[in-house]
A = this chain, B = another copy of it.
Amino acid sequence: MSAERPAPLTFYFDFISPYAYLGWTQIHALAERHGREVEPCAILFAALLDANATKGPAEIPSKRTYVFKDCVRSAAVLGVPFRPPPSHPFNPLLGLRVASAATAANDRRRAIDALYRAAWADGRGITDPAVVSDVLSAADLDGPGLVDRASSAEIKTRVKDQTARALEQGVFGVPTIIADGELFWGLDSLPHVERRLAGRDPWTPAISAAFIDLPASAQRPGSRRGA
C-alpha cells in the first residue's frame, strides 16, 4: 500500500481584495498543519460580480470605508503589515496574469507573495509593469520575463479560464478555499477550513439539505435575482 498524497487546497484570490491578502498570509501555515499543499489560483473578482449582477464592497461607499477599517483591525490581530495601495479599486489584471505565468509552484508562491506585499504592505502598487518587474526581480524571479509572458494570449486566456472554472464551482467571492470539494469563503472561514481538515466540521449533508431545499416566501420588489 502506498500512502496517497492528500489533495491540495485550492486558494482562489484576486489582488484587489484585502481579505484575500490577509487570507494568503495565513493559508500556508494552516495547510501545513494538516499536511496539505496550497494551489493558488488567480481569478478576476469583478467577473464574479458581473456574473451575479451584484456589487463588491468597494462599490458601496459606507461598506468600502468599513471594510478597510475591518482589515486594519484584522491585520493587527494577525500581526501582518497592512497599508493601502496607491489607489483602490485598481486594475488587478497584470498581477493576476503574472501570478498565472509563473509555472513552478515555488516560483508562483514567491511571485504572489511579492505582488501581495507590493499591493497591500509596502504601498508600491501592482498596476505599473516596470514596478511589477522590479518587485518580482527583487524576489529573485525573472521580472522582465514574467511581465512579458503576462501579456501573451496564452496567459490572458488562462486567467479567464480560471475565473470561469471558479464560477462553475460556485465561487462568488475571494478569498475562496476549496478543501476536498467543499467551498469556504472569506478570511473568517479559515477556522471552519481548519475544523474540516481535522475531521471536526459540524456541517453534515443532512443538515444542509434542509436549508438548501428551503422555499422562499418573500422577494424584494424589483430585485434582480439570479444572473
Which residue, A89, A91, A226, has most C-beta atoms of chain B within 10 A?
A89
| Of the residues B46, B54, B86, B170, contact of A55 by C-beta under 8 Å | B54
Judged by a CB distance under 8 angstroms, whether A5 is at the interface is no
Binds B, one of A133-141, A157-165, A205-213: A205-213
Inter-subunit contact A91/B217 (CB<8 Å): yes
A188-B188, A203-B73 given; A127·B217 CB < 8 A: yes
Q: Which residues of B contact A70 (CB under 8 A)?
A: 185, 189, 192
A160-189 interface (Cβ within 8 A of B): 170-173, 183, 185, 188-189
Among A25-33, A61-69, A106-114, A145-153, the one that faces the other chain is A61-69
A199 within 8 A of B: no
Chain B residues within an 8 Å CB radius of A3: none
A69-B208 contact given A52-B55, A215-B87, CB 8 Å threshold: yes
**Which B residues touch A226, using CB under 8 A?**
61
Within 207-227 of A, Cβ neighbours of B (below 8 Å) are at: 207-208, 210-212, 214-220, 223-226
B208 touches A72 (CB 8 A): yes
Q: CA of A176 to CA of B207 in the docked complex: distance in angstroms?
A: 27
A84 interface residue (CB < 8 Å to B): yes
A89 and B46 contact, CB distance less than 8 A: no
- Closest B residue to A54 by beta carbon equals B55
In whole angstroms, how far apart are the Cα atoms of A211 and B68 in the complex? 7
Name the B residues within 8 Å of A219 (CB-CB).
Answer: 89
What CA separation (Å) do A59 and B190 show in the bound complex? 24
Residues of B within 8 A of A88 (CB): 214, 216-217
